[in-house]
Every structure is written in C-alpha cells, then in structure tokens.
Amino acid sequence: MRMLFTVVPSGSHFNALVPLGRALQAAGHDVAFATAASFKTTVEDAGFGCFISGPEWEQIVGDAPPVGAWVQSAPGRLPTVRENVDGIAQLFIGGFGLRMVRPLLDVASHWRPDWLVHGSFEVSASVVGERLGIPHASIQTGGINPADMAGERVVGLLDALRLSVGLAPDPGAEALYRYVHISAMPAAYFGEAAMPRNTCFIRPGIFDRSAGEGLPRWVEGLGERPVVYVTLGTVSNRMSHIFRTIVAALRDEPLDVVVTIGRDQDPSYLGDQPPNIHVERYIPNSLLLPHCDLAVMHGGYTSVLSALLEGVPLVLVPLFADQPGNARACARMGVGQVIDPEMLNPDAVRSFVREGLNEPAYGIAARRVQEELCKRAPIEHAVHRLEELGGAP
C-alpha cells in the first residue's frame, strides 16, 4: 500500500512519526512524507520519499520561535487546558492547515495513497482524506487530549479548513478520528478522559539517532553519584537563560549533571564548569536515559515518552505548545514535578531536584509506567491494523 504521512517542518514532529513509517516500510509498503521544501533533505536522509506540500515556519510565525499568547497566558500562571489547546489549534489549523490543505490535496489526488497518516497537530491530512475518500490515521504526538479537540474554537478552525476544500461542517470534530487513532501514551496520561473508541495502543518507538550519534566514553564512568540529565529538546534549547539557571542550581550539588544544549548550539556559552557538569551538543535520549536517575526537561512529547520508557522520574519546566499538557499529565501520574517557568530560579530547581531524587514515590511511579509501556504490543500491531482496515493482502 501507499502511505502518505504529513508533517510540519519540525524535527520533533517528524521524529515522532518515523518509527511507524519505518515499520510500514519493513512490512513492504511505500511510505512518503508531505512537508515543506526546507525539510525535504531531512525526510530523504531518513529513507522516505518526499512531496513538497506546506509552508515554512517563518511563513506562519515569523523569525521568532513559536511563542506568544498561546504559550503563557499570564505571568506566574501556566495556560489552562482550554487556552493551551485553542492556541495550538490557531497555529497548526488556522496557520499551517489552511496553507497546507490545498497543496496536499493536489499531491494526494495525483499520487493516490491508500492511507493518509498525520500527527496530533497536523490535521489537514484528515480533511484531504475526507475530501478524496481516502482513510486517514492519526498518531498521538503530544499532550493534547483528543477529547479537547471538540471545543468551540477548535471546531470553528476545523470547519474553516473543511470549507476551504468544499466539505460540510463537522460540529463534533468526529472526522479527525474516523478510522484509527494510534497512541503510545500511558493509559493514565489523560486521566479519566476517554480516548477515541478506535484507539490502537502500542509500545513507544523512539527515533532520536538521525545523525548516527552515540554515547561519549565518559558516560561509562558515571554512577558513583546520582546522575541528572538536563535537556530542553530541539526548539526550546535556544532559551539559554534556562540552561544557565539550572546549571547554576546544580553545579555545587553532589551530583553528576549531563546537559545537552542542541546540535546547533555552542557548549562554550555556558562557560567553564566544574568536573561534575558535562555539557554536550546532543546525546540520544534513548542511549543516555538508562544511565540517569532524574531528568530535568521542557516537557516535549518525545523527551517525556523516552524518559517514561526508561522509568526515569522528571522535573518539568513547560515552556510552550503541548508542554504544559505533558507536564500536567506527568504530575497527575506521579512521575514528576512541575516548575512554572515564570517561577524558575536556582533555589526552586535545587529543591525540586532534591525531592525528585530523595522521594522514592516518583521513581516507583515512573517504573510502574515503564512496566505498562513495555508490556504493550509492538509498533507492528499498528501496521497490521492499517493493513486490515485498508484491505492489504
């Protein structure tokens, strides 16, 4: 079968889709991605075909990182769930969606995929699928509860997107999850709220070694003291003041601290550090986290899922997008603590890290989630589900 994935030009969004794409390829299916021109090389280097379809980040949010009213609703207060979802919808449906749906419609009309596959935020695939009669699968790629996508603001944006290709309104946003929804999230991630009835739960697949990175040799010498990992992912890592605050908080603690600041950043900007502070551009989470006792991070989807898969408790500083939702979920499950970024200071960081390391409940909860995830069916289960629904031989 032909499988057309859609994605905005973002490493974190793309990486979340790669495991299923590769599993489909291994099963003999033809997999291609539709995305912005700047991301073509990234897609092809990962082994997939690529169709140019959709805008660049700069066309939607300008030269600044994607922060604004949808990030932090007021000083000292994380956005509410509704504010968070509505803000994300404005960016990804009202921004990317409206610019991507027409080019994607052209691509799908000519290539005629058997399935359209999209992440939680890139919803134009579902609209194009409905327009052309092609089944579409959604993949949970962040801390936005599918049930929250039926809010008035989101539905209005979705209906505008549908109207742009001649589709009738969908008052309950039911078309988003009409065929199958794939999720690697823990069952308790969204509390009591129900996932779509056709959700296919799978064991997480992590893709974080796109450039062939490995573990530095010095990692083998860690372990005599607690190891704390600090990361802000692939977008938030531009916020150097947060790294400086966290490093200032932990440099004199009896810990080994591993800080990864991003492939595009220079470790020297943090200045000289004592021997217990190890600063690197990038180390794959899947390789480093098994050596860690605690992780301090921004709350990005892939980073959180990587930590939960290794049973590592968290201290989260959610900055924007779905990060507040991921942080709330981790706090609710008991696997981590949340620091409001407006309240971030060295004393707060030290206090939260000490509690995370000294209070056994966080580690116990994290290992409980790890056990649940490891018992799940592998990603091939989702492949079989798509094959069955798509009528593959």
User: What's the mean per-residue pLDDT of the chain?
Assistant: 89
10 plus 96 within the same structural domain: yes
| pLDDT confidence of residue 357 | 97
39 plus 175 within the same structural domain: yes
Residue 64 reports pLDDT greater than 70: no
pLDDT class for 78, splitting at 50, 70, 90? low
| pLDDT confidence of residue 70 | 40
Which of the given ranges, 20-29, 178-187, 238-247, 274-283, has the highest pLDDT on average? 20-29
| pLDDT confidence of residue 108 | 97
Question: What's the pTM value of the predicted model, to 2 decimals?
Answer: 0.90
pLDDT class for 12, splitting at 50, 70, 90? confident
Tokens of 322: 């779905």
354 plus 221 within the same structural domain: yes
Domain limits for position 73: 2-203+376-390
List, for residues 321-373, the tens digit of each pLDDT value.
788 889 989 999 999 999 988 889 999 999 999 999 999 999 999 999 999 99
194 plus 221 within the same structural domain: no
Residue 74 reports pLDDT greater than 50: no
119 DSSP β-pair partners: 139
21 plus 121 within the same structural domain: yes
- What is the CATH classification number for the domain harbouring 245? 3.40.50.2000
What total of structural domains would you count in the chain? 2
93 plus 36 within the same structural domain: yes
256 plus 239 within the same structural domain: yes
39 plus 145 within the same structural domain: yes
Does residue 35 lie in a domain region? yes
Does residue 208 lie in a domain region? no
Does residue 352 lie in a domain region? yes
Residue 320 reports pLDDT greater than 90: no
pLDDT class for 84, splitting at 50, 70, 90? confident
Does residue 276 lie in a domain region? yes
Does residue 209 lie in a domain region? no
347 plus 384 within the same structural domain: no
145 plus 285 within the same structural domain: no
Does residue 269 lie in a domain region? yes
| pLDDT confidence of residue 39 | 94
- Are residues 6 and 124 in contact, defined by beta-carbon separation less than 8 angstroms? yes
Buried b (16+ CB within 10 A) or exposed e, 44-54: eebebebbebb
Does residue 145 lie in a domain region? yes
370 plus 384 within the same structural domain: no
149 plus 285 within the same structural domain: no
Residue 72 reports pLDDT greater than 50: no
Residues 308-316, mean pLDDT to the nearest whole number? 97
Does residue 232 lie in a domain region? yes
pLDDT class for 266, splitting at 50, 70, 90? confident
Instruction: Return the percentage of the chain with pLDDT > 90, whole number.
Output: 65
